[in-house]
Amino acid sequence: MGVAARTLLLLSGLKIVNTLCKLWSEKHGRFTLGKVRSLRTTFLQGANSMTSAKYIGRDVHKETISIAVMNSMGKLLMESIIETKAGTILQFFAGLRGDMHVTCEEGTWAAWLYDLLKAHVTEMIVCNPRKNALLKDRNKSDRIDARKLAELLRLNYLKPVYHGEHGLRMLKELSRTYLAISKDLVRVMNRLKALYRGWGIACSGRSVYAASYREAWLKKIIEPGVRLRAEYFYQQLDTLLRSRREVRRNLLIESRKHSATKMLSQIPTIGPIRSAHLVALIQTPHRFRTKRQLWAYSGLAVETHDSAQFRYVDGQLFRSRKPQQLRGLNEDHNHDLKNIFKGAAQKATVGAGPFREFYERLLAKGIKPSMARLTVARMIAAITLAVWKKGVRFDPEQLKLQAA
């Protein structure tokens, strides 16, 4: 829309205000000059708020940030490349006026930029890059990506990623550290067993990792270079085990400061460590309106594909009886959260407790063990959300009420 068109729209709006004032005065008495000015000022403020909104897309990299600024009509107002430093970023946004709606993609810099700019802009959205299909279309560059992000933000087509709950920062960092060290520990253990298997040495069980049996296992390796490599792996294993014990202790101490971990740890198979991870990863249960939203976020939702759902028979519309095509579980999810619920379900199926009884009832109905474990994992996730939202203790009777 050009300048002339916007001017005509503004004049038409003022004319409408004057007409309304005249109609009101004919019925209820004359308007005072102050009331007329007040109405005109309110209209002008509303019009200015529409035109002053700015939609800012940012393509963030280690050294530079490419920025594109659009107005509410989709016109490109400004493009800039600034240095990835806090002072430079704040200085750039301090020079802009109006309502600023800002976005960037989830990544290494997202949490830092969110905390930096949240208090200085009207809206700050960190978006999911997997959902931005427009960025993959045709040419790609930093400048083009920034423009496309601003356009998607203006059209409200972005899928936001949750950022918030600053009081959980310490718990989040400890949880991430514990999970990262645990993954590194598994990698080293796999390398050790692969080394022994590569030289024809059977190494089933966990005794190969124990310090008391270490010399006996090393003597089985004849080649000196391979033995030296195994010794380095054992040193790395000891370091990671020591680090994980320390992080675990600090994680449990920090988790006791949050009442939600105490509630969640009462759920069978969750325990103190899993409850600490759940609070750190989910942060607040009110992100999810229903249990199905939590299932999708945790990778426990079944993905279906369907087409040609309706047909006409003798002029009447009927729904097709063709069954939906199942495509497995959704791929876009939080992998750590999925591992927590799957691990809890696996533990529930081998130990005694209410979830074991529920699992056996599913098997008695003829459900496959893999699908039964998935159902138990979905049940644990649903009960976790309900207990956390309502702030109540776990009740085994909920297994009969919750539909997984």
Is 371 within a domain?
Answer: yes
Distance separating alpha carbons of residues 215 and 208, to the nearest angstrom: 10
Is 202 within a domain?
Answer: yes
Please name the residues in contact with 359: beta carbons below 8 A apart, sequence gap of 6 or more.
348, 349, 372, 373, 376
What pLDDT sits at residue 382?
93
Is 161 within a domain?
Answer: no
Of the residues 125, 154, 183, the one at which a domain ends: 154
Distance separating alpha carbons of residues 304 and 331, to the nearest angstrom: 12
Please name the residues in contact with 334: beta carbons below 8 A apart, sequence gap of 6 or more.
281, 297, 298, 299
Same domain, yes or no: 185 and 286:
no
- Indicate the number of domains in the chain: 4
Same domain, yes or no: 35 and 91:
no
Same domain, yes or no: 226 and 322:
no
What pLDDT sits at residue 11?
45
Give every residue of the chain whose pLDDT is below 50, as ranges.
1-11, 31, 36, 43-44, 46-50, 403-404
Same domain, yes or no: 331 and 224:
no
What pLDDT sits at residue 3?
41
CA dihedral for 198, 199, 205, 208, sign (positive or negative): negative
Of the residues 220, 255, 290, the one at which a domain ends: 255
Is 240 within a domain?
Answer: yes
Same domain, yes or no: 285 and 357:
yes
Same domain, yes or no: 179 and 281:
no
Same domain, yes or no: 307 and 386:
yes
CATH classification at residue 87: 3.30.420.40
Reduced to 3 states, what is the DSSP secondary structure of residue 333? coil
Is 162 within a domain?
Answer: no
Q: pLDDT by residue (tens digit) across 37-66? A: 555 555 445 444 445 899 999 999 999 999
Same domain, yes or no: 202 and 271:
no
Distance separating alpha carbons of residues 117 and 94, to the nearest angstrom: 11
Same domain, yes or no: 98 and 200:
no
What pLDDT sits at residue 2?
46
DSSP letter string, 248-274 = HHHHHHHHTTSHHHHHHTTSTTTHHHH
Is this prediction's pTM over 0.85?
A: no
Of the residues 255, 273, 294, the one at which a domain ends: 255
Domain membership of residue 178 as a residue range: 167-255
Same domain, yes or no: 23 and 85:
no
* Furthest-apart CA atoms within the chain: distance in Å: 107
